[in-house]
Amino acid sequence: MKERYFTLRSYLMHFEKDKQYDLKLEDVDALWFCSRKNTKRILKQLVSERLLAYQPGRGRGNVSKISYFTSFQEEMETLINDYVEEGKLDKIAEILRLPIPKGWVANSSKEISELLGLKHDYSESRDILHTFKVREITTLDPLRVSLALETHLIEYLGDTLVRYDKERDCFIPHIAHHFYVDPTERIWTFYLRKGVYFHNRENVTSYDVASTIERIKKGNPSYSWLAGNIEKVECPHSHKIEIHLVEPNPFFLRYLSAPIFCILPANVEFNEFEWIGTGPFKLKERTEYKMVLQANDYYFKERPLIDEIHFYHVTKEAARMIYLAGKESTTDIEPSKYRINDSGVYLLSFNLQRKNIIQQHDFREAIYHVFNVQKMENDLQMDIFEASSLDIERSRSETRSPQKVAALIESSGYKGETLNLFCFNKYPVLREAQWLQNEASKFGISLNICPISYSEFIKEGVEKEIDILMMGLSLSFDKHLAFSYAFKNKVLLFNRLFSKEIEEYVQRKLYLFELEEEKDKRTIIMEEIEQYLKKELAMFFLYHPIVTRFMDPNIKDVESHSFGHIDYTKLWIPS
């Protein structure tokens, strides 16, 4: 009931004590997602608990009135202090999600920041990492996941038959302890480890592997292509599985190492809120605003060094304020910086299916020269590495020529029409879109910024209104799998914008790319695809973000894991 009360006062900005506010019940219905009957019932209960006074409007034109017995600011500040003393980060996170003035939290922000980080619980001898996340978890279903954070979390909850070894550029056994392929290169045989348990303590068998493959084949088309070449699966016994391919594919082990191929139990219907896998962490708790991962004591590999990870969802503004407060320590200890240089790439893509000025190559080239990445880096004071490729190791700075823009616009036939520039609805990307909008306006190009949410991003049909798209890709350590994945996974919006001719070229080249067994020759094909897309100006790469994370200086052995995130299994603090 208190949640309803906090929501009412914060969203309607009813901050003052003893002041009468006009109240429209339809506003409260929408705020509480209630029917009118339930809204009146809740108001009556809040009145009985002496949290507010409510006077319903009688007759036409008489507005309902509401007032409160306390100052909302004083109430919030007292409550925050109480929660800080009790160490209730989940309750603090609830308050930080409310639209209240940041100043109300400022006095306690340092104390809140001290509750975060890796802490040792001496009473139970547990190491627990407490951390804020600035957006909600969209899905943990391997067949629906499309974002780096969620994919990263799935890697902790589940395991694959094999894993990619970045240092040696090869594939190593994981759930399978041995594997081989027959002379025809069509039948792959895997022998499963004994003593590998799901989180519900059931043994992993070949039938679970077969069930997982079947789930992928029948699942979302954006991922089912990973199993599209599998003709049949046979289970000679519980720890041996044979996978028959339609045709040989040297890329097959790369597919099997993808997080989408994590093995799930055959006899349990998948439930992403009761995740059952084999991974180093178990899903202990998951609500809309909190998630707890617990170390798997029965993990068949090395157990995580920390015992639990607690994620709390708060607003970006609140997280920034709290974490900045943590740097203002009176001691000489400064947070250590951990830089991740290879966390992905940002790109700009044109919708070549739209029958408008975007079809003109000269106009697309004009946008290319308008988007001076080095100028944006200086103007916005960004820490980035300019990109000319999906892979940071092959990226180079490129020369933009603003003096060419006017002539290109004129030759394209552009008449000043407004074009839709789509991007994610989050601050850093919006700021870059606004920068491009401003730069384009200097040349008479009119752009309308259209921010979209993560859920809108993956919807089929959203691409119909896009003219220009700015988006980022987070990449796995396996660069060659990441390349194929980027252009085959149609959840990724940029590759839904290609013309039929360009799409056919890319897929034809990808087919040859996956059949090629030599790494250097695959790299050549990757470069050919990128150069073709650049020549056609279907898209171009912008920059590789350089991520700097501030870490508690007591945390030891910070390592990269994948998709620009750190490896939580290796974190520890001296007791």
Q: Given this model, what pLDDT does residue 494 score?
A: 92
| 211 or 556, higher pLDDT | 211
Enumerate the CATH 3.90.76.10 domain ranges in the chain, comma separated: 159-261
- Least-confidence region, from 63-77, 206-220, 304-318, 330-344: 330-344
State yes or no: pLDDT of 493 exceeds 70: yes
Q: Which CATH code, of 3.40.470.10, 1.20.1050.10, 1.10.10.10, 1.10.3470.10, is assigned to 2-70?
A: 1.10.10.10
Q: Given this model, what pLDDT does residue 59 score?
A: 67
| 28 or 121, higher pLDDT | 28
As a whole number, the mean pLDDT across the chain is 87
For tokens 């997080």, name the residue.
Answer: 259
Q: What is the pLDDT of residues 419-471, one digit of tens each?
A: 999 998 887 889 999 999 999 999 999 999 999 887 777 777 888 899 999 99
Beta strand 345-350 with 539-545 is: antiparallel
Q: What is the pLDDT of residues 175-213, one digit of tens each?
A: 999 999 999 999 999 999 999 999 999 999 999 999 999
Q: Given this model, what pLDDT does residue 379 score?
A: 94
Copy the structure tokens of residue 569.
Answer: 């299994």
- Residue 537 CA to residue 249 CA, distance in Å, equals 31
Q: Given this model, what pLDDT does residue 313 score?
A: 82
State yes or no: pLDDT of 170 exceeds 90: no
CA 31-33-39 angle, to 5 degrees, is 80
Average pLDDT over every residue of 322-328 = 57
Q: What is the pLDDT of residues 468-488, one digit of tens each?
A: 999 988 777 788 998 998 999
Q: Given this model, what pLDDT does residue 339 score?
A: 58
Kindly indicate the confidence band of residue 332, based on its pLDDT and cuts at 50, 70 and 90: very low
**CATH architecture of structural domain 159-261:** Alpha-Beta Complex (3.90)
Q: Given this model, what pLDDT does residue 45 score?
A: 92
Q: Given this model, what pLDDT does residue 572 score?
A: 65
Q: Given this model, what pLDDT does residue 561 score?
A: 54
Enumerate the CATH 1.10.10.10 domain ranges in the chain, comma separated: 2-70
- Residue 533 CA to residue 48 CA, distance in Å, equals 67
Angle between helices 2-11 and 89-96 (to 10 degrees): 30
**CATH architecture of structural domain 345-545:** Roll (3.10)
Enumerate the CATH 3.10.105.10 domain ranges in the chain, comma separated: 345-545
- Residue 462 CA to residue 102 CA, distance in Å, equals 35
State yes or no: pLDDT of 250 exceeds 80: yes
- Residue 450 CA to residue 231 CA, distance in Å, equals 43
Q: Given this model, what pLDDT does residue 329 score?
A: 44
Residue type, 140: L
